[in-house]
Chains A and B, each alone.
Chain A
């Protein structure tokens, strides 16, 4: 279980949010809602351990998560705005490093996002939506309990969103947690909403 208690984050001199508390249990999904600049991406980066916590506590099954970032990194998959693809590598080669690092079958992961027929194509030839699907394929490689998704459905067509929904459902059926920042509806039935707003 992921538990955040009265957390606050500073970016530069600016307070992004304060006194934010929430818990996520296995199988649960949380949608982060808020205007641009409300701190959705910042919260996801914080939960990934990429930025420091200014105040409060963040625990995973009772253990503080930021003491050992490497251990925490092993628990999560983070899908950022940027797709983190190398244009000169082929679709399959883009996943190869992650498959070696985490385990998992590349062909299966590509099949889950319907990119298997394009496996040999350089990533620079993919469309924006296809690049997003390749980034999503990283989630499908090997299971991790916590998925942090930053506007995961940007650029996806209806069929791809449906396939993404299957991925999310399988992840939650395994007891996985999802935190997703979004402005559009996502295929996450029964998700709770966490509204972020600028502090007054």
Chain B
């Protein structure tokens, strides 16, 4: 599995534009909010938690439809399934690689986005934690969705329709944690609930994805 993860990271390093595109998309979406709702600092700060979460989840969705699509097109998927790794292991590595190449870089862009949305500075740390967990959940759910929609016509459209509703709990608890931190309330319970969701998705999503990859 480590060998596959190294291959995935090497491939991502050869295509840095994909990672950069997700980060820029994230920043641009958050930059659009001040234009839409006006520059009033209070309104922006009120919107910031939800806007950050929504923008991050959408940005992390971008590279998902190529997750297995590219492998299936060039024949690599068949070879991976015969490499001695199970479908579940392949899916788990894909999810981790997707988070490392999309979710983690988004965290680096979070302070910039938080500043643009006038999120109070003490909440920035919590915002990064909440985004880390939420994007990890999206990587897991998205991997299952990508495996399910593999081979479907217009799978790229189907995938968000399948994955985003499942990510609603991540959205709720993530935004609630940031909101709580911004207003000085205890934010820990929300993050713990988010972590519990991630802990449940971590084994289940790769299992589902592995089963979907196996059934041709």
Interface residues of A (CB under 8 A from B): 45, 48-52, 69-70, 73-74, 76-78, 80-86, 88-89, 93, 96-98, 100-102, 138
Please report which residues of chain B, range 1-44, place their CB below 8 angstroms from some CB of chain A when the two chains form the complex. Answer: 3-4, 6-7, 10-11, 14-15
Contact B75 A93 (CB under 8 A): no
Contact A97 B84 (CB under 8 A): no
Contact B75 A89 (CB under 8 A): no
Contact B84 A101 (CB under 8 A): yes
**What is the CA–CA distance of A84 and B7 in the complex, to the nearest angstrom?**
14
Closest Cβ neighbor of B3 among chain A residues: A100
What distance in Å separates the Cβ of A44 from its nearest Cβ neighbour in chain B? Answer: 10
Cβ–Cβ < 8 Å partners of B4 in chain A: 97, 101
What distance in Å separates the Cβ of B167 from its nearest Cβ neighbour in chain A? Answer: 30
Q: Is B104's beta carbon under 8 Å from chain A?
A: no
**What is the CA–CA distance of A1 and B161 in the complex, to the nearest angstrom?**
48
Contact B81 A50 (CB under 8 A): yes
Contact B7 A83 (CB under 8 A): no
Contact B3 A81 (CB under 8 A): no
Cβ–Cβ < 8 Å partners of B83 in chain A: 73, 97-98, 101-102
Contact B84 A76 (CB under 8 A): no
Interface residues of B (CB under 8 A from A): 3-4, 6-7, 10-11, 14-15, 73-76, 78-79, 81-86, 214, 216
Contact B79 A88 (CB under 8 A): no
Closest Cβ neighbor of B76 among chain A residues: A84
List 8 A–B pairs whose Cβ atoms lie within 8 Å, in order of A's numbering: A50-B78, A50-B216, A74-B84, A76-B82, A80-B78, A85-B74, A88-B11, A101-B4
**What is the CA–CA distance of A52 and B2 in the complex, to the nearest angstrom?**
29
Cβ–Cβ < 8 Å partners of A45 in chain B: 78
Contact A88 B15 (CB under 8 A): yes
**What is the CA–CA distance of A179 and B106 in the complex, to the nearest angstrom?**
48
Contact B7 A96 (CB under 8 A): yes
Contact A78 B6 (CB under 8 A): no
Cβ–Cβ < 8 Å partners of A98 in chain B: 83
Contact A51 B11 (CB under 8 A): no
Q: Taking each of B6, B15, B75, B86, which has the highest tally of chain A beta carbons within 10 Å of its own beta carbon?
A: B75
Closest Cβ neighbor of B7 among chain A residues: A97
What distance in Å separates the Cβ of B67 from its nearest Cβ neighbour in chain A? Answer: 14
Closest Cβ neighbor of A73 among chain B residues: B82
Closest Cβ neighbor of A77 among chain B residues: B82
**What is the CA–CA distance of A88 and B85 in the complex, to the nearest angstrom?**
23
Closest Cβ neighbor of B86 among chain A residues: A70
What distance in Å separates the Cβ of B15 from its nearest Cβ neighbour in chain A? Answer: 6
- Tell me whether A82 and B216 are in contact in the complex, defined as CB-CB below 8 angstroms, given that A73-B84, A98-B83 are known contacts: no
Cβ–Cβ < 8 Å partners of A101 in chain B: 3-4, 83-85
Closest Cβ neighbor of A102 among chain B residues: B84
9 new A-B contacts, CB < 8 A, other than A70-B86, A82-B75, A96-B3, are A73-B81, A73-B84, A80-B78, A84-B78, A85-B74, A86-B74, A88-B15, A89-B10, A97-B4
Cβ–Cβ < 8 Å partners of B82 in chain A: 48-50, 73, 76-78
**What is the CA–CA distance of A82 and B10 in the complex, to the nearest angstrom?**
21
Contact A51 B79 (CB under 8 A): no
**What is the CA–CA distance of A50 and B215 in the complex, to the nearest angstrom?**
8
**What is the CA–CA distance of A101 and B194 in the complex, to the nearest angstrom?**
35
Cβ–Cβ < 8 Å partners of A88 in chain B: 11, 14-15
Contact A97 B74 (CB under 8 A): no
Cβ–Cβ < 8 Å partners of B81 in chain A: 50, 69, 73
Contact A80 B75 (CB under 8 A): yes
Contact B216 A78 (CB under 8 A): no
Top 3 closest pairs, chain A to chain B, by CB: A82-B75, A100-B3, A84-B75
